[in-house]
Amino acid sequence: MMRRSGRPVRVRTLVALWRLAHIESPPHFTVQKVRLTQKQCASRGTKEHDAIQLLHRLSCWVMAVSRLFKRFCGLHRANARIQACPPGYIHRRALSDSQVFNNGDDTVLPVLIVGAGPVGLVLSILLTKLGVKCSVLEKSKTFSKHPQAHFINNRSMEVFRKLDGLAEEIQRSQPPVDLWRKFIYCTSLYGSILGSVDHMQPQDFEQVVSPASVAHFSQYKLISLLLKQLENLSFKLCMSNELEGFNHGPFQERQLLMGHECVSIKANDDFISVTASFLKDGKRMERNIRCNIVVGTDGAGSTVRKLAGIDMRGKRDLQKLVSVHFSSRDLGKYLLSERPGMLFFIFNTEAIGVLVAHDLKQGEFVLQIPFYPPQQNLEDFSPEICEELIFKLVGRELSDINVIDIKPWVMHAEVAEKFISCGNRIILAGDAAHRFPPAGGFGMNTGIQDSHSLAWKIASVVKDIAPSSILHTYETERRPIAIFNTELSIQNFKAAMTVPAALGLDPTVANSVHQVINEGVGSILPSGLQRAILDGIFTIGRAQLSESLLNEKNPLGSSRLANLRRIFEEGKSLQLQFPAEDLGFRYLEGALIPDTDDALGAPEGPTGRRRDYVPSVVPGSRLPHMNVTILSNSSSEVTFSTLDLISGDKIEFLLIIAPTDLSYHLARAAFKVAKEFKVSARVCVLWPAGSVKQVEAGSKALLTPWENYIDVVEVKKSSNPSSWWDLCQMTDKGAILVRPDEHVAWRVKSGVVGDPITEMRRVFSATLGLKPHNRRDQEADQ
């Protein structure tokens, strides 16, 4: 140890010198701390002072150069010729006997998707159905059986209705809703129930606001169904053990290549070259794939995001946890008959945890346990120790328990600083673009809706319907939604903490103590003592849950239980459904024409409480749902949703009008302009309830010249007696133009003022990102 005048230089000073010398700057280390240390050492002698002064100046110079370099890169990233590799890749490649294969010719794949989670697979299906050639790379050699995400909200289920019966298959395969509609709070699964919350309301079963219902369906099961969809679309799934027949020729579309890691992205003016690394016969191989667009759907630790140099913004390390996947049919059978639920929040003097019941009939569970490294490590969560923890939370031993998987994870609340890079050719979606706390289930659902928003825009570019600039509207529209959902998830996480707080377990205390131990004076203590202090704090906290304290006869316990009941009754605990945010999110700008008199303004901020969805056709909103039937068959009981009027198999805009001469005139203009813009348009004439066949026959003369139209009639429900135009808060003189992703692009409330053709040219130009008359000028030049 360095000494001066028999006194040691502070350990913190040495740490600071070491970190500066290695140009390391963790979040908790700042230049200000170096300056304080500098002043302290200056009073002790000149040698240490001069050394620190020199290193401090050097660090400032390095940081200045770093900022300048980052700024320079940031200015050029959007149009960049990116050439990047992940850390360690060059070193690994130098040590390996790798072989690189190129495409074999000048083939350029329109779209390459990196990451085969739900978001990437949904995007590949949507693009394929729209006629866009694409392939998928997945780093993992096999698909995980860890249940992970499990709640699918209304909007995602609506997207799945477009995927050839996927929504119906999920509804058939998921557990009955009565087995997962509740969150249960208890001292153990066999112990006292502190409270329960039923998250399903009567209107949730009536399909008034959506043709689809929410679902409880584990992610690995969803992936299995998505793979079947891809197989039906002639996708080839190539597992890592099947690479003996590896094709060294042109890279084929409609492939899902497992065990292929994206290790490099190089961009020039003509295409992007992605290098994929994989193992074959024990040797590392590489293949260069040329493509026009790369979509990173490769999860929270996205390689594509890192290679593109895109940073995350938000709150990191909100909580560290260990996820224990286990099975027990005995436990499932007991909960099935005695206290069925989706989530079980368990608090007792021996352990605290949250149990996710993925499938009670199959006895499949995941236990989430708080994790505090480095005082705790994964060795503290061996299968045997996890079994003991499970028994403590269950309240008795389970003879058939099987611990399947144990994995740590970190909860973040972050959004990428941008979703698009490299001239609209590198795109992020799903967890690669945003990562939320799981409270509320917005992670996977937001990603699925990213794919739905992105697919038609990519297809428009590939099919030369729109310029590549339309892809930037994906970021314009989806990033604000991601930011909103991040804040909502944080509010939900805080709501989840209200219950332990009411029981006397202040969740911030453990985190504060942990921070002091790691960063404050506790950091100089031996690791064993650090752990003992942390364990002692946890033991004291859990003592608040003893039966002698937490009962109605104890004044303090009675007060806490009363507070707990109030939290449940007022909806202040963690909620499952958020209809307003699920169905009512709205794009304020992007590929749409905002109302000139938009009275709604920006959406209300998140509250963490359940709020009802209010139907709206303000541009940017999702088209409202109403049951309709074909007018010529209005006596039939077969109905479908207004959302079903939008095709999932082609890029097609839908114009909804009432059966009036003024609206027919607008429809003819829409058809004419759509042809100019080389985009498909469909007209829906929506008749009021009670319309008869004679009325339809009388208007056939006006409708017959049209090539693509449909007549439908309202099917009213007693729970929702409003007419379509009342539901939309418009008159029947209005019209609504709907995009391929079922969001409203434009509306007119009471008829177009001026020439309808001129207005429709303005609408299609703005929505597709084209200049007015662009298509006609191109055709004239030809």
Which tokens belong to 644?
């079903």
Which tokens belong to 204?
């949730």
Band (pLDDT 50/70/90 cuts) for residue 20 is very low
Give the separation between CA 176 and CA 433, rounded to whole angstroms: 33
3-33 exposure pattern, b = at least 16 Cβ within 10 A, e = fewer: eeeeeebeeebeebbebbeeeeeeeeeeeee
Which tokens belong to 393?
């939370």
User: What is the pTM (predicted TM-score) of this model?
Assistant: 0.85
> Is 80 exceeded by the pLDDT of residue 761?
yes
Q: Are strands 272-280 and 261-267 parallel, antiparallel or unpaired?
A: antiparallel
The torsion angles phi and psi of 22, rounded to 5 degrees, stand at -100, 10
Q: Are strands 134-138 and 236-238 parallel, antiparallel or unpaired?
A: unpaired
Secondary structure class of 211 (helix, strand, coil): coil
Q: Is the dihedral of CA 72, 77, 79, 84 positive or negative?
A: positive
Write the DSSP string, 221-278. Answer: HHHHHHHHHHHHTT-EEE-GGGGGG---SSPPSSEEEET-EEEEEEE-SS-EEEEEEE
Q: Which helix (H) or strand (E) holds 540?
A: helix 527-542
Which tokens belong to 532?
């003992």
Query: Higher confidence at residue 40 or residue 385?
Result: 385
> Is 60 exceeded by the pLDDT of residue 239?
yes
- Burial (CB < 10 A; 0-12, 13-18, 19+), residue 57, is exposed
Residues with Cβ < 8 Å from 159, sequence gap 6 or more? 122, 448, 449, 451, 452
Q: Which of 439, 548, 502 is nearest to 195 (CA)?
A: 502
> Is 50 exceeded by the pLDDT of residue 43?
no
Give the separation between CA 720 and CA 725, rounded to whole angstroms: 13
Write the DSSP string, 584-595. Answer: --B-SSSSS---
Cβ pair 554, 544 in contact under 8 A: no
Kindly state the average pLDDT of the residues 721-739.
93
The DSSP call for residue 464 is T
> Is 60 exceeded by the pLDDT of residue 31?
no
> Is 80 exceeded by the pLDDT of residue 144?
yes
Cβ pair 313, 469 in contact under 8 A: no
Number of residues that this document lists for the chain? 782
Work out the number of other CB atoms within 10 angstroms of the CB of residue 716: 15
Task: Locate all alpha helices (DSSP H) within 88-187, ordered by sequence.
Answer: 89-95, 118-129, 154-160, 166-173
Q: Which residues pair with 274 in a beta bridge?
A: 265, 289
- Provide the residue type at 469 as one letter: S
Which tokens belong to 192?
């006292």
Kindly state the average pLDDT of the residues 137-156.
95
For the chain, the distance separating the N- and C-terminal CA atoms, rounded to the nearest angstrom, is 81
Mean pLDDT lowest among 319-333, 510-524, 667-681: 510-524
Q: What is the pLDDT of residues 613-664, one digit of tens each?
A: 999 999 999 999 999 998 866 556 788 999 999 999 999 999 999 999 899 9
Give the separation between CA 433 and CA 474, rounded to whole angstroms: 12
Q: What is the pLDDT of residues 251-270, one digit of tens each?
A: 788 999 999 999 999 998 88
Which tokens belong to 617?
């056709």
Secondary structure class of 32 (helix, strand, coil): helix
Which tokens belong to 279?
């193992």
Q: Is the dihedral of CA 138, 139, 143, 144 positive or negative?
A: negative
Q: What is the pLDDT of residues 48-102, one digit of tens each?
A: 445 445 444 544 454 444 444 444 444 444 333 455 555 444 334 433 444 555 5
C-alpha angle with apex 331: 330 to 333, nearest 5 degrees? 65
Mean pLDDT lowest among 105-114, 306-315, 429-438, 766-775: 766-775
Which tokens belong to 398?
């389970």
Give the separation between CA 344 and CA 356, rounded to whole angstroms: 7
Q: What is the pLDDT of residues 504-516, one digit of tens each?
A: 988 777 777 788 7
Write the DSSP string, 379-394. Answer: GGG-HHHHHHHHHHHH
Which tokens belong to 289?
């794939």
Residues with Cβ < 8 Å from 172, sequence gap 6 or more? none
Give the separation between CA 80 and CA 73, rounded to whole angstroms: 9
The DSSP call for residue 333 is H
Give the separation between CA 504 and CA 583, rounded to whole angstroms: 36
Give the separation between CA 273 and CA 496, rounded to whole angstroms: 45
Q: Which residues pair with 215 in a beta bridge?
A: 152
Residues with Cβ < 8 Å from 114, sequence gap 6 or more? 120, 136, 137, 262, 274, 294, 295, 296, 297, 298, 303, 304
Task: Locate all alpha helices (DSSP H) within 78-144, ordered by sequence.
Answer: 89-95, 118-129
Cβ pair 420, 728 in contact under 8 A: no
685-695 exposure pattern, b = at least 16 Cβ within 10 A, e = fewer: bbbeeebeeee
Give the separation between CA 312 and CA 346, rounded to whole angstroms: 33
Q: Which of 297, 253, 311, 304 is nearest to 274 (CA)?
A: 304
